[in-house]
Structure formats: C-alpha cells, structure tokens
Amino acid sequence: MASDSKEIAIDMQFFHMYTDGTVKRFLPNQFIPPSDDDPSAAVRSKDVVIDSETGLSVRIFMPGRRDATQKIPLVVYIHGGAFCIGSVTGPTYHNYVADLVDKANVVAVSVQYRLAPEHPLPIAFDDSWAAFQWVISHASSSSGGPDPWLNEHADFRRVFLGGDSAGGNIANDVAVRAGDSKLPAGVGVEGIFLMHPWFGGKEVDKLYKMLCPTSSGRDDDPRVNPAVDPRIGTMAGRRVLFCLAEKDWLRNRGMGYCEELKKSSWGGEVEVMESQGEGHCFHLFHPNTHNAVALMDRLVAFFNRP
C-alpha cells in the first residue's frame, strides 16, 4: 500500500495517485456474493470467469419473475470509477444493476475489467471488448455459448451497451469497435446509454495521462474524444441515450460529444436526459431520490421501447 509520505500527483475524493504511479484507494473493498442458489429471488446473479489467465470476469443478472418462454433484452453494463476504482461485486454496482434488471426485465452482464494503474490503460478497454465478444458469441451458433442463462433468456437482437462515468467512455469505445467488426449473425445492438460519461478536453487530463502513458491525454486521442475517431460513422447502435446532470463538471463534455455525434455520418437517433440540480453519478449514491427514480424510469423505457 502506498504511503502518505509519498508525493501525491492526483488528489481525488476516493483515491490518491502518487508520482511513482501507485494508488491508494479509500473505499473499503466490500463484496456482495452472487445469489444463484435461490430460484425464487427477484433477481438472481452469478459470477463467470471469462479468461483464467487474466482473471477477467463478469457478473450476470437475471430477473427471477419472468416468462420463461420469452427472450428478453440483453444489457452489457460497464462500471465507472475513473478507471481506478469500482467493482461489479461491490454494493454500489451490484445493487444498481440488480435494481435495473428487476425494473426493466432484462438480462444484464456487468464487466469486471482490470483496474489501472496496476493494469495500465488501455487494458480496461481491451478487457471490456473481450467481455462483449464473449457475450455475443452465445448467438454465433445453434448450440450457443458456455453460459445457459444467456443461451436461454437473452434476446441478442436487442443488445444494449453502456455504463457510467469512465464506464460510459469504455462503453462508447466498445460500440465503436463493434461497428468496426463483423458481429455474429442474429446480433443487433439496439442502443447505447452513456450515463454522466467521462470524456476529455483540449487540456491534458493529468489522471488519464498517468493511467495511459501512450496517450496524449487530450482531445486528439479518439478514446479521450471519440468525435475525432474516423470510425464513428459506423459505430454500433441504432439509438444513443445521453444521461447528463446539470451540476456535473463533465456535463459540457458529454453534451459536446452528443452534438458532434449528431453531426457525424452515424445517422442514428440521439436522446438526451438532463437531471436538474444534480452532480456526477448522483443516482448511484442516492438511488431513491426523485431524480434518481426518474433516471431509472428513463433507462427502463429506453430498453423496452418497441
């Protein structure tokens, strides 16, 4: 563990990054076990290791109350945390994704990508792309893939991809890669949802630069600013929902990308929901407030629109 006697390079609310590249996280490392052993539960969940060498895994959520004969939309969720913190097995993201699954009646796959700086960027991007490929591989043959929940319950014609903060940035990158590749037959990326997404600006983002030494850390990097990516016109997804917050310091960057996407050759449908009077990722920390419930309702409607 890093010592406080070291020189702090990045001072964030939930962690310190030091000049030697190490990080000290302040949030406790909490773990909520999956609940696959109770078939009567409102939401069941399980952990699946995709790559035993890297440890890449996902947590899969399935609604307990459902029509077993009906295939339901599939959501791939990528958590935020400045690429440095967060876990699909912690209470914040486990509870939020489980609530989303229960209310929207979807199958969700939450990606446990490896965190920087121990695993420098773009590892988080590559892990998330590998997880997405694993998920949609279940639609590539009549026998399906290794996970029976996905084989039996996921409607691969209605795939949704998204996340919050840094996870929104990663999700957008996965959507760009998906559009630039040949998806398996029967797979349709219906929508992308970007919740308070992190994107960079003209000035070098000091944290991102430390986490990704090969990047300029500014808006000439397509991951920092996807509007400059020449592949943006072929990005997967028929619809994109931007969820912004009035008092979020990232709000203007998210809106800026929204406007650039509209002007690009992509040609899909763009929606914007802005939560008034709220800050960055407020819905994760205060999920029962009026605005957080409204945001959840918008996501549910986005996934279930005919």
- The pLDDT value recorded for residue 2 is 44
Q: pLDDT tens digits, residue range 30-68?
A: 899 998 877 778 999 999 999 999 999 999 999 987 777
Band (pLDDT 50/70/90 cuts) for residue 175 is: very high
Cα separation, 13 vs 31, whole angstroms = 21
Over residues 150-167, the mean pLDDT reads 96
Find the range with the poorest average confidence among 12-16, 114-118, 123-127, 188-192. 12-16
- The pLDDT value recorded for residue 37 is 76
Identify whether 216 is a catalytic site residue: no
Q: pLDDT tens digits, residue range 99-156?
A: 999 999 999 999 999 999 999 999 999 999 999 999 999 997 666 789 999 999 999 9
Q: How far is CA 144 from CA 106, 121, 138, 185, in A?
A: 19, 31, 4, 12
Query: Which residue of the set 79, 153, 196, 280 is catalytic?
Result: 280
Q: pLDDT tens digits, residue range 229-259?
A: 999 999 999 999 999 999 999 999 999 999 9
Its pTM stands at: 0.95
Average pLDDT, the chain: 94
Question: In the chain, where are the structural domains located?
Answer: 1-30, 40-304
Query: Which residue of the set 57, 126, 248, 283 is catalytic?
Result: 248
Identify whether 165 is a catalytic site residue: yes
User: Pairing between strand 15-18 and 23-25?
Assistant: antiparallel
Residue 4, pLDDT > 70, answer no
Query: Which residue of the set 128, 165, 215, 275 is catalytic?
Result: 165
Over residues 265-289, the mean pLDDT reads 97
CATH of domain 40-304: 3.40.50.1820
